[in-house]
Amino acid sequence: MKIGLFIPCYINAVYPNVGIACYELLKSFGYDVEYPLDQTCCGQPMANGGYEQDSRKLAERFEDLFSDYEYVVGPSASCVAFVRENYSRLLNHECKTEKSLYDITEFLYDIVKPESFPTPFPHKVSVHNSCHGVRELGLSAASELTVPYFNKIRSLLERVPEITVFEPTRIDECCGFGGLYSVEEPEISACMGRDKIGDHMHTGAEFITGADSSCLMHMQGVIDREKLPIQTIHFLEILTGQKI
Amino acid sequence: MSRTSHSRAAKAFQEDRNNAVWHDETLWMVRQKRDKLSHNIPEWEDLRHTARDIKLYSTSHLPELIEEFEKNAKANGCYVHFAKDAKEYREIIENILKEHGAKKLVKSKSMLSEECELNEHLINHGIDVIETDLGERILQLMDAKPSHIVLPAIHIKRERVGKLFEEKLGTEENNYDPTYLTHQARKALRQDFLNADAGMTGANFAIAETGEVVVCTNEGNADMGMSCQNINITAFGIDKLVPSRESVGVFTRLLARSATGQPITTYTSHFGRPHEGGEQHFILVDNGRSEILGMEQHRKTLNCIRCGACMNTCPVYRRSGGYSYSYFIPGPIGINLGMLKDPRKFSGNVSGCTLCFSCSYVCPVMVDLGEQIYVWRQKLHDLGVANQEKKTMSDGMKFIMEKPKLFNSALKMAPMANHAPRFLLYNGLNKWGQDRELPRFANESFNSWWKRTHKNNK
């Protein structure tokens, strides 16, 4: 079975390691993984900023690149959620990729179901439950709903030897990134970032980890500016035992 | 980047850092209280679905429900009026009061009266209006507006209330004890209840099958005002109509838990008949509501039961305060209602959202608040109120992203930015860099890595 690998633009440019981790994990479970070249962006930044028509052509190309794969897997909850929630509406027809597309978290947790990961990670980590991961993809139980607790990211991380996993007190409060929100309301955005990092640090964790590099990028920006004693790492980098 | 009204006001609110932290924590505490209670009710999600369905039924059967309400209210001996807009609403109330020579009105909290600017109107026409909800009374004495729909004075600390009462009610100097202050307010309000000529309240629900209204308060002030006076006025938007008493039972289970984290409000009162020798007036107000009914994407805002849970959960509202919104109802529901009222005038609020969707999830009647804000953002450009720089950024992204070759060469060039002089990267133009470091581009993009390691593949 062939999997089409979806690498969002900013992971391509800033966090290629996350893409490589995603690819290597899928390979390690025996999947045949293809990376259709000439991928760029899913269009979410424009759409959330109020210009969703600017992402129509990107949606068309995405559909062209990926519609033949049984599964399309990508390492970014927010981008995956954007495609799934909006593409059919944007293109005025049913998109095949809306059904075949998975965030890597879902794919691992719901389909691959690995019992463990080989490389130990002898560190304390705090899980960042990103808004779109929680409330659009259902990667964890949303704190607003009265549903039984579950957390797919945490559950996967706990299959890594020697790791200690925490979650912050405000378990799924927004970190304040929000795409263009981060530049349209920079003070509140940065304030939310500082508050969120404080909440993560309060757990005693050495790393903030999660399935959305965009939130991690925003928080890392605050961490670097404030010189805070914590760092961000995508959870796939932990699962694959990439050097930190 | 040119700033929206919300962004400017939010920035100003953050300047008093201690106050901003206190505001965030206070409202988060309310959200936590709400969580604790809702999580104790196993059927909570079913209740939300049922409540949404009742609301959708009600708003799609308004003509019948209004007719039924009117028939039953009249049979109970009440007067029923209809106001198509704020002006008619104000005039109906003014006329009722004038007919009875009423000079003083005691009023319990009503966001509709804020919407229709009733107090100013009545005061200008020589009628003394006394707000009787404690928070509203504090604001009235300060000549200020609510900053939250359920906790109108939540942004005001007790020390400020103590000072205000010293000045206005002659209370002891430097006594900021909440119990003391509440007692003093109560003593003063008691005189107003006894000396007024008419009582007025808004409504949480209006029941068609019985022709009565339901008012929820924690202080019993609606009951005091309505009991002490013979001339009673209750005015409400037509979106408050529900079919039956039974349906109200669903809402009362959700309302206080969502609003303040209480199992139920202290007083849930039904008003359906005039006092002996008195008059009960009901005023059903449209003021734009039937227009919203015709807007498919936004119709569900009429489900709102004004619990304020979306404000308490909104990370932006908690950190920017109620006054950062230019519409009189703040937070996620306020962004949406403002846009429905006058999209050009209130578009400055649409930036106040990270699209985290916590509001949509917390809402007891399942209004899709975040989703609607997304829809409004798409309309700003056509309304002529979009942010030009944001458009430029979006155009730039579209330009590059639609051309994979260009994108790939940009990927190759990007790491050079890592070595650019700091003043080029961090200046007034770079809002990201104001409080954050920029991300560093990888020396080798994923694309390049793939091509290098998969030379024989496509």
Instruction: Provide the pLDDT for residue B417.
Output: 83
Position A161 pLDDT exceeds 60: yes
According to DSSP H, which parts of B41-147 are helical? 44-60, 62-75, 86-99, 111-115, 118-124, 134-142
Instruction: Provide the pLDDT for residue A244.
Output: 67
Q: What is the pTM of this model?
A: 0.95
Structure tokens at B148: 């939250």
Per-residue pLDDT tens for A108-146?
999 999 999 999 999 999 999 999 999 999 999 999 999
Instruction: Provide the pLDDT for residue A237.
Output: 97
Distance from CA of B128 to the nearest CA of A (A): 41
- Residue A30 CB: number of other CB atoms within 10 A? 8
CB distance B36 to B257 below 8 Å: no
In this complex, the residue of B7, B398, B446 whose CB is nearest that of residue A185 is: B7
Distance from CA of A145 to the nearest CA of B (A): 7
Are A37 and B404 an interchain contact pair (Cβ–Cβ within 8 Å)?
yes
Position B75 pLDDT exceeds 60: yes
Instruction: Provide the pLDDT for residue A238.
Output: 98
Residue B114, CA atoms < 13 Å, CB-side half-sphere: 19
Q: If 0-12 CB within 10 Å is exposed, 13-18 middle and 19+ buried, where does residue B456 land?
A: exposed
Mean pLDDT calculated for residue range B104-116: 95
The answer to whether residue A233 neighbours chain B at the CB level (below 8 Å) is no
H-run or E-run covering B204: none
The answer to whether residue A183 neighbours chain B at the CB level (below 8 Å) is yes
Distance from CA of A232 to the nearest CA of B (A): 12
In this complex, the residue of A11, A50, A178 whose CB is nearest that of residue B446 is: A11
Instruction: Provide the pLDDT for residue B421.
Output: 80
DSSP E strands in B8-126: the ranges are 79-83, 104-107
Residue B347, CA atoms < 13 Å, CB-side half-sphere: 18
In this complex, the residue of A15, A51, A225 whose CB is nearest that of residue B391 is: A51
Nearest CA in chain A to B42: A146
Q: Give the sign of the dihedral formed by CA B449, CA B455, CA B456, CA B458.
A: positive
3-class DSSP assignment, residue B354:
coil
CB pairs A-B closer than 8 Å: 212
Structure tokens at A35: 């990376």
Which DSSP symbol is given to B108?
-
Q: At what angle do helices B17-38 and B245-259 cross, to 10 degrees?
A: 140
Chain A positions in Cβ-Cβ contact with residue B411 (cut-off 8 Å): 12-13
For residues A59 and A206, give the distance between their C-alpha atoms in angstroms, rounded to a whole number. 38
The answer to whether residue A57 neighbours chain B at the CB level (below 8 Å) is yes
According to DSSP H, which parts of A107-185 are helical? 131-135, 152-157, 181-184
CB distance A172 to A178 below 8 Å: no
Which DSSP symbol is given to B264?
S
One-letter amino acid of A2: K
Position B457 pLDDT exceeds 60: no
One-letter amino acid of B454: H
Q: What's CA A62's distance to the chain center, in Å?
A: 18
Distance from CA of A131 to the nearest CA of B (A): 5
3-class DSSP assignment, residue B308:
coil
The answer to whether residue A221 neighbours chain B at the CB level (below 8 Å) is yes
Instruction: Provide the pLDDT for residue B419.
Output: 82
Give me the percent of chain B exceeding a pLDDT of 90: 89
For residues B106 and B97, give the distance between their C-alpha atoms in angstroms, rounded to a whole number. 12
H-run or E-run covering B404: helix B404-413
For residues B196 and B105, give the distance between their C-alpha atoms in angstroms, rounded to a whole number. 6
Which DSSP symbol is given to A238?
H
